[in-house]
């Protein structure tokens, strides 16, 4: 089977409507973009037309929709247009918007699907990024949503939702969330809300544009919309569509079967993050093991703090694992009876993973050594304790002469434990 190629739109197409939260007119133009650029929003109403990549790293809010932000710029309710683009394999697109929110249209994904199908898509000369689920991946949150992803040929999503409202109740559905099947079975499903919540939302300046024209609205008697529902289980279909839109923020096509229990935008985002990590983490399979690491790093016990390298893109990105056990020498004194990995050693482990990425960038690495010069924006988000596995992901931000900048994050169970920006110099030994 030949590798799938990236795709973009064949031409530009414009949609006009209102923002569901602002209630103001909104105009969105979907247009072609170069291979490798992904899907990007551009705020054409602001000075300098700032852009925000549609990527999980830029998600700033997940209440009542997914909001992207970069510096001061915001774009709200991105999930419906992104679902349509992702479902139709439009990997690269420029999304020009004249305000802080996309137009809600009829509250479904269909107007975006129709617009894309009207202009058509074209193949580009680069392989598409695909995240293939290799083994079971789990995401659970105490607050409710939980997800399991397992291997599958295409993207299938099964979901359960549970609302106390008698018109909804407990619903289950399982769908092929891609291509024509998405367009027919999921795209027409509209967003929904409860009349009882409307006043409180409006008081907070939200849902100002929401109406029976762009949402299914429920009151105590049931569905208020005069024409009723488009599917008897329209609610679950919309939630599945939202998952497609939120997973689009991985920037990759997903191949797997997602089983979601009470999905939410916040939960979808945790799933997106975990799947993105999973792709680099390579199912935990080593691509470089401890003995090979020792050939490339001068560190030895007790200061060698990398066990495996599981993901690697030359000159770009590296993923390494540190398994933390109760036998680590530092736990004896940090602290007796209350073992916590010292924060500076977490950063040291991160730096060692980064060192491996840098060593591969230079000629004659045996005669060189990496000195770290500065750390910025170091944050420890949660303690690391015996039994934890830290997955470090480092990205090479800049490599100029012999000075390089790296951005690193260490996660335990998909949750950020520490992050830092590191600057290093490569010196002769």
**Residue closer to Zn ion (CB basis): 191 or 264:** 191
**Residue closer to Zn ion (CB basis): 191 or 250:** 191
In this structure, are strands 13-18 and 25-31 parallel, antiparallel, or unpaired?
antiparallel
**Measured distance between the N- and C-terminal CA atoms of the chain, rounded to whole angstroms:** 48
Does residue 41 contact residue 131 with C-beta atoms inside 8 Å? no
Say whether 334 is catalytic.
yes
Residues in contact with Zn ion, shown as a per-residue x/- string from 12 to 51 under the rule CB under 5 A: ----------------------------------------
Q: Kindly name the residue from 165, 296, 299, 334 that is annotated as catalytic.
A: 334
Does residue 255 contact residue 130 with C-beta atoms inside 8 Å? yes
User: How many of the chain's residues bind Zn ion (CB under 5 A)?
Assistant: 2
Dihedral angle sign, alpha carbons of residues 69, 33, 88, 25: positive
**Residue closer to Zn ion (CB basis): 23 or 311:** 23
Kindly state the smallest distance separating residue 186's Cβ from Zn ion, in Å.
11
Q: For the purposes of burial, counting CB atoms within 10 Å of the CB of 367, is it exposed (0-12), middle (13-18) or buried (19 or more)?
A: exposed
**Residue closer to Zn ion (CB basis): 242 or 393:** 242
**All residues at 6 or more sequence positions from 294 whose CB lies less than 8 Å from its CB, including other chains:** 300, 304
Kindly state the smallest distance separating residue 19's Cβ from Zn ion, in Å.
14
Residues in contact with Zn ion, shown as a per-residue x/- string from 217 to 256 under the rule CB under 5 A: -------------------------x--------------
Kindly state the smallest distance separating residue 114's Cβ from Zn ion, in Å.
17
Q: Is 91 in the site for Zn ion (CB under 5 A)?
A: no
Q: Kindly name the residue from 178, 257, 265, 278 that is annotated as catalytic.
A: 265
Among 22, 67, 108, 191, binds Zn ion (CB under 5 A): 191
**Residue closer to Zn ion (CB basis): 100 or 107:** 107
84 three-state secondary structure:
helix
Kindly state the smallest distance separating residue 192's Cβ from Zn ion, in Å.
9
Residues 154-173 that bind Zn ion (CB under 5 A): none
Q: For the purposes of burial, counting CB atoms within 10 Å of the CB of 201, is it exposed (0-12), middle (13-18) or buried (19 or more)?
A: middle
**Residue closer to Zn ion (CB basis): 77 or 146:** 77
- The structure tokens listed for 201 are 């939302």
41 three-state secondary structure:
strand
Give the residue from 357, 283, 362, 287 showing the smallest Cα distance to 316: 357
In this structure, are strands 253-261 and 146-150 parallel, antiparallel, or unpaired?
antiparallel
Inter-CA distances, 201 with 62, 65, 204, Å = 15, 13, 5
Query: Can you tell me which residue has the tokens 């480092």?
Result: 394
Kindly state the smallest distance separating residue 341's Cβ from Zn ion, in Å.
40
- Cα angle: 321, vertex 278, 41; to 5 degrees: 120
Binding part of the chain for Zn ion, among 26-34, 191-199, 314-322, 381-389 by CB under 5 A, reads 191-199
Say whether 296 is catalytic.
no
Just list the catalytic residues: 265, 334
Footprint of Zn ion (CB under 5 A): 191, 242
């Amino acid at each position: 089977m030949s590798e799938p190629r990236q795709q973009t739109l064949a031409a530009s197409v414009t949609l006009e409507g209102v923002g569901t939260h602002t209630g103001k007119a909104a105009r969105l133009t979907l247009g072609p973009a170069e291979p490798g650029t992904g899907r990007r929003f551009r705020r054409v109403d602001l000075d300098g037309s700032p852009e925000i990549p549609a990527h999980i790293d830029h998600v700033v809010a997940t209440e009542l929709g997914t909001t992207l932000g970069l510096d001061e710029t915001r774009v709200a309710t991105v999930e419906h247009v992104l679902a349509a683009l992702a479902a139709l394999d439009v990997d690269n697109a420029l999304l020009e918007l004249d305000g802080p929110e996309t137009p809600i249209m009829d509250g479904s994904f269909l107007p975006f699907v129709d617009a894309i199908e009207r202009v058509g898509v074209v193949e580009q000369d680069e392989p598409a990024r695909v995240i293939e689920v290799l083994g079971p991946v789990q995401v659970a949150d105490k607050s409710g949503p939980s997800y399991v992803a397992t291997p599958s040929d295409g993207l299938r999503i099964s979901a359960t939702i549970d609302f106390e409202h008698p018109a909804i109740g407990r619903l289950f559905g399982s769908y092929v969330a891609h291509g024509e099947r998405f367009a027919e079975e999921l795209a027409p499903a509209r967003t929904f809300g409860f009349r009882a919540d409307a006043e409180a939302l409006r008081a907070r300046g939200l849902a100002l544009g929401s109406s029976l024209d762009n949402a299914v609205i429920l009151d105590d008697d049931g569905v208020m919309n005069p024409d009723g529902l488009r599917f008897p289980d329209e609610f679950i279909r919309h939630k599945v569509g939202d998952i497609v839109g939120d997973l689009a923020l991985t920037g990759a096509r997903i191949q797997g079967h997602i089983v979601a229990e009470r999905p939410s935008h916040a939960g979808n985002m945790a799933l997106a993050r975990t799947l993105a990590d999973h792709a680099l983490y390579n199912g935990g399979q080593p691509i470089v093991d401890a003995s090979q690491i020792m050939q490339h790093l001068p560190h030895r016990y007790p200061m060698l703090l990398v066990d495996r390298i599981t993901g690697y893109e030359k000159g770009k990105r590296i993923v390494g694992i540190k398994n933390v056990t109760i036998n680590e020498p530092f736990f004896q004194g940090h602290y007796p009876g209350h073992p916590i990995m010292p924060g500076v050693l977490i950063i040291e482990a991160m730096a060692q993973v980064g060192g491996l990425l840098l060593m591969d960038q230079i000629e004659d690495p045996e005669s060189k050594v990496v000195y770290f010069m500065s750390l910025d924006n170091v944050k420890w988000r949660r303690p690391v304790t015996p039994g934890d596995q830290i997955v470090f992901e480092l990205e090479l931000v800049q490599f100029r002469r012999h000075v390089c900048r790296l951005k690193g994050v260490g996660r335990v169970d998909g949750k950020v434990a520490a992050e830092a920006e590191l600057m290093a110099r490569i010196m002769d030994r």
